[in-house]
């Protein structure tokens, strides 16, 4: 039925500057969508069952726009390298293990479980090149109740032999078969996932472009993360004017099919213009960009230009699945960018970070990430009583604090698309 | 008696580059000091009681070289300002509340409790100008088993009337009385704490200098945190050649009496030379320096020069008491500094961050922060089983991971100066 009322302190974004806080109020779920936030519950909803979360905070579920599931085992490890060396030394070695279904089963079980227990309700996930393991990940995620896009990764050049698709044709056949086998889920959908230009041949990109035309799938990849990477792309694609254009050449850069590009740390004016014109989403991954010494993306520019932007954990270049942590680091890194490189771009405010984590990233999934009327009903209920304080705090202050303090143990209930994923006691940390 | 053996995976620093890991080994506590780490337990210790923490990690207790206890209630709040505005808008208003002993009792109870439950065994703590509340904080901390220096803050100019000492003479009398009343504790010692040059008159600095000569107390303050602050100090002290020299003028800058200066983000060559010559400790507070848009301190320079350096949480400009988080941010910020401003200073390695958090900061307390023979026995036992992984991990990898992942719930035992502070089950996060 998916009709119920949640009572609590309700916080959500209308825009990047407009945070709405309704203390001691009601938010209504009807047929899986939000029917509104009310100070006094309208008579017509009086008969709906009510979850009483008085004193707790109720926020939209968070969106993780960029996360690599197979890298979860080595989160927090081996971060003394920059991107390309990090991929070759740690990442590819780990991802190769997913040819082994027993390993994949163990590893993805942990990932799906931890993601379920986090504040994330929506995610865009990279798997590996292995179709069977990727299908298993999708099956596990479907059961978790999370709503997500999952991509079988494509890569066919400049990759170690043990993690490289044989031919573009074979890659396309495998991918098409994987799409067919995984299109029946309620919560989990396939997404095209060329890893990034350096490891995808022209022929492979053309094959993926054909698949996109045939199946109208969204697409995710990486863009302008690291200076060395950008130089490499220039050499590999001498006929394109910027890194983004190397995707666009194959029609794989926004427009009809929703596209996420992770990072965009060093995107130049032409690339940014293309992103804006073609509605490309930016997945801002501040922790990853610090850990791999990539830099700090100009998120203020993206917000000012109206470029669609959300946050990504980017496991395992980021160490934490927590999108609260991504919010905190987005703010902190924007301050360091302001201080160290460009005082024309004011740092992000907490309202903006919260927007990025909810409505900003949520938009990739449609009307997701807010409690405005008609939005899909994703909600997270937080018991922050464990973060004790001697003074009174408003709901807004409690939300602000959570950006810095929240740990998974304080999440006491979670709903996605109107369905309850779990309800539990807060755990003592 | 304080004689016992701990069995587990033992990790500690000998130097900033030398991390020792003894898997499945023994560390011996005798009379409150470390008697060595052994792969096989020597016969002479066979009769000592043994805590069996097989499979768990055992590390030295962490040192927090800079934390403001009264600011703990507003951690995570109000961080859209730079230092001076932040002090005037949020900090002084909160600190004024500690004139009220009921408020102080509530707030300091939470602080002492959370510090006790953290991985920190040693701390250098700012209180407020209020002697009575400061004494209460010391009493609570003494009971917690943590070993700490606590400072009644001195400030007598450029401060709001509600948080300003009346005269330098009165400030000195109050401070002396407070010292006398709080010198009998086993774990907690007084430390001189002029807040920072902008709020301390020449006369006050002279009075504190006299007190230092009389009581041989250590001293803590702030240095070169923010560009506006540094300009202000230049105006206030036109006869001094650098900010550090304004402390040194009164003999309050290292030498005979151990001194900690928090931040040192923008210290110039002359100041750095003075710090080195006079053995001033740097409390590096990376999260605070990001949150208040201060910048990133050149920790690599300090390590290369052999300047004594440790980490600080700097609550509430930092949001978290966790020195694990300070380690992670020290590494991350050093990478961003390398990328954005100065490629001559290589980023910090995990071994260096761990050293800063243990032996580096611990040195302020004497032989503290290592399991080398003769070191005071501070230990933290960590059950990281909650951070599940499908692949085998070495003890060193588990330690590296904890820098990024550790939450208080994974700490299962803590010892300071040989005394057990607590032992408990890991909590599920």
DSSP letters along B22-66, please?
A: EEEEEEEEETTEEEEEESS--GGGTTS-EEEEEEEEEEEPEEEEE
pLDDT, position A427: 73
- Residue in this structure with the two tokens 């719930």, named with its chain if needed: B409
B298 Cα to chain A: minimum distance (Å): 13
Residue A107: which of B337, B390, B407 has the nearest Cβ?
B390
pLDDT, position A425: 86
pLDDT single digits (tens) A190-219: 999 999 999 999 999 999 999 999 999 999
Residues of A in contact with B78 (CB under 8 A): 400
Q: Flag whether pLDDT at B153 surpasses 60.
A: yes
Residue of A287, A332, A342, A427 best to disrupt the B interface, most CBs of B under 10 A:
A332
The mean pLDDT of B381-410, rounded to a whole number, is 96
pLDDT single digits (tens) A288-320: 999 999 999 999 999 999 999 999 999 999 999
Q: Flag whether pLDDT at A380 surpasses 80.
A: yes
CB neighbour burial string for B412-421, b if at least 16 within 10 angstroms, e if fewer: bbbbbbbbeb
Q: Flag whether pLDDT at B25 surpasses 50.
A: yes
Residues of B in contact with A347 (CB under 8 A): 80, 293
Confidence class of residue A426 from pLDDT cuts 50, 70 and 90? confident
Residues of A in contact with B296 (CB under 8 A): 336, 340
Q: What does DSSP say about strands A120-126 and A147-151: parallel, antiparallel, or unpaired?
A: parallel
Closest residue, chain B, to A397 (C-alpha): B77
- CB–CB of A76 and B401 under 8 A? yes
Taking the CA atoms of residue A236, residue A241, residue A244 and residue A247 in that order, the dihedral angle to the nearest 10 degrees is -60
- CB–CB of A76 and B405 under 8 A? yes
Confidence class of residue A429 from pLDDT cuts 50, 70 and 90? very low
- Residue in this structure with the two tokens 């990279």, named with its chain if needed: A126
Confidence class of residue B429 from pLDDT cuts 50, 70 and 90? very low
Residue B305 structure tokens:
């020069």
pLDDT, position B428: 56
Q: Flag whether pLDDT at B124 surpasses 80.
A: yes
Q: Is the peptide bond before A25 cis (omega within 30 degrees of 0)?
A: no
In sequence order, what are the residues at sequence separation of 6 or more whose Cβ sits closer than 8 angstroms to the Cβ of residue A83? A225, A226, A228, A229, A292, A294, A317
More confident call, A101 vs A257: A101
B202 Cα to chain A: minimum distance (Å): 31
Please report which helix (H) or strand (E) contains residue A302, including its range: helix A299-304
DSSP letters along B93-121, please?
A: HHHHGGGSHHHHHHHHHHHHHHHHTSSEE
The mean pLDDT of B347-358, rounded to a whole number, is 98
What's the CA gap between A417 and A422, in Å, rounded?
Answer: 13
Please report which helix (H) or strand (E) contains residue B148, including its range: strand B147-151
Q: Which residues pair with A149 in a beta bridge?
A: A124, A189
Residues of B in contact with A349 (CB under 8 A): 80
Closest residue, chain B, to A391 (C-alpha): B73
pLDDT, position B426: 80
Q: What is the pTM of this model?
A: 0.98
B40 phi-psi bin (left φ>0, alpha ψ -120 to 50, beta other): beta
Residue of B17, B76, B324 best to disrupt the A interface, most CBs of A under 10 A:
B76
Confidence class of residue B289 from pLDDT cuts 50, 70 and 90? very high
Q: Mean pLDDT across chain A, nearest whole number?
A: 97
B293 Cα to chain A: minimum distance (Å): 5
B108 Cα to chain A: minimum distance (Å): 9
Contact call for residues B133 and B108 (beta carbons, < 8 A):
yes
Confidence class of residue A264 from pLDDT cuts 50, 70 and 90? very high
- CB–CB of A295 and B336 under 8 A? yes
- CB–CB of B296 and A347 under 8 A? no
Give the A:B interface size as CB pairs under 8 Å.
145
Q: Flag whether pLDDT at B425 surpasses 90.
A: no
In sequence order, what are the residues at sequence separation of 6 or more whose Cβ sits closer than 8 angstroms to the Cβ of residue B163? B92, B95, B96, B128, B129, B155
The mean pLDDT of A144-156, rounded to a whole number, is 98
pLDDT single digits (tens) A155-179: 999 999 999 999 999 999 999 999 9
Contact call for residues A83 and A228 (beta carbons, < 8 A):
yes
Map A339-362 to HEC letters: HHCCCCCCCCCHHHHHHHHHHHHH
Residue of B90, B388, B395, B406 best to disrupt the A interface, most CBs of A under 10 A:
B388
pLDDT single digits (tens) B326-335: 999 999 999 9
Residue B400: which of A77, A296, A388 has the nearest Cβ?
A77
What's the CA gap between B133 and B425, in Å, rounded?
Answer: 33
Instruction: Express as a percent the part of chain A with pLDDT over 70.
Output: 99
In sequence order, what are the residues at sequence separation of 6 or more whose Cβ sits closer than 8 angstroms to the Cβ of residue A162? A92, A96
Residues of B in contact with A107 (CB under 8 A): 390-391
Residue B370 structure tokens:
């290592």
Residue of A336, A396, A401 best to disrupt the B interface, most CBs of B under 10 A:
A336
Closest residue, chain A, to B393 (C-alpha): A74
Residues of B in contact with A404 (CB under 8 A): 75-76, 319-320
Q: Flag whether pLDDT at A428 surpasses 90.
A: no
A151 Cα to chain B: minimum distance (Å): 21
């Amino acid at each position: 039925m998916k009709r119920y009322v949640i009572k609590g302190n309700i916080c959500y974004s209308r825009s990047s500057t407009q945070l709405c806080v309704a203390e001691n109020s009601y938010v209504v779920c009807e047929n899986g969508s939000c029917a509104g936030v009310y100070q006094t519950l309208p008579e017509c909803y009086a008969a709906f069952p009510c979850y009483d979360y008085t004193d707790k905070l109720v926020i939209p579920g968070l969106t993780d726009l960029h996360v690599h599931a197979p890298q979860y085992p080595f989160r927090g490890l081996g971060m003394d390298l920059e991107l390309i060396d990090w991929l070759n030394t740690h990442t590819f070695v780990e991802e190769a293990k997913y040819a082994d279904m027993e390993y994949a089963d163990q590893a993805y079980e942990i990932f799906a479980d931890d993601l379920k227990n986090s504040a994330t309700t929506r995610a865009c996930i990279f798997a590996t090149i292995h179709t069977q393991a990727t299908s298993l990940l999708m099956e596990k995620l479907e059961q978790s109740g999370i709503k997500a896009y999952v991509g079988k990764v494509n890569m066919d050049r400049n990759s170690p032999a043990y993690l490289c698709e044989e031919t573009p044709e074979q890659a396309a056949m495998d991918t098409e078969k994987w799409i067919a086998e995984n299109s029946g889920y309620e919560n989990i959908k396939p997404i095209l996932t060329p890893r990034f230009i350096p490891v995808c041949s022209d022929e492979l990109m053309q094959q993926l472009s054909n698949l996109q035309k045939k199946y109208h799938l969204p697409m995710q990849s990486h863009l302008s993360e690291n200076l060395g990477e950008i130089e490499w792309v220039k050499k590999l694609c001498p006929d394109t004017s910027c890194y983004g254009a190397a995707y666009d050449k194959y029609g794989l850069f926004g427009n009809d099919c929703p596209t996420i590009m992770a990072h965009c740390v060093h995107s130049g004016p032409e690339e940014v213009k293309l992103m804006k014109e073609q509605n490309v989403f930016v997945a801002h991954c501040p922790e990853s960009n610090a850990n791999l010494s990539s830099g700090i993306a100009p998120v203020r520019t993206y917000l000012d230009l109206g470029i669609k932007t959300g946050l990504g954990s980017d496991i395992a270049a980021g160490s934490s699945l927590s999108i609260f942590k991504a919010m905190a680091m987005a703010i902190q890194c924007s301050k360091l960018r302001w201080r160290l490189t460009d005082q024309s771009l004011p740092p992000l405010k907490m309202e903006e970070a919260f927007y990025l984590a909810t409505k900003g990233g949520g938009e990739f999934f449609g009307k997701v990430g807010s409690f405005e009327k008609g939005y899909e009903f994703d909600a997270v209920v937080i018991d922050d009583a464990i973060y004790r304080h001697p003074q009174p705090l408003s709901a807004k202050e409690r939300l602000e604090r959570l950006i810095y303090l929240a740990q998974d143990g304080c999440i006491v209930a979670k709903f996605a698309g109107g369905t309850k994923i779990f309800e539990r006691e807060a755990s003592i940390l």
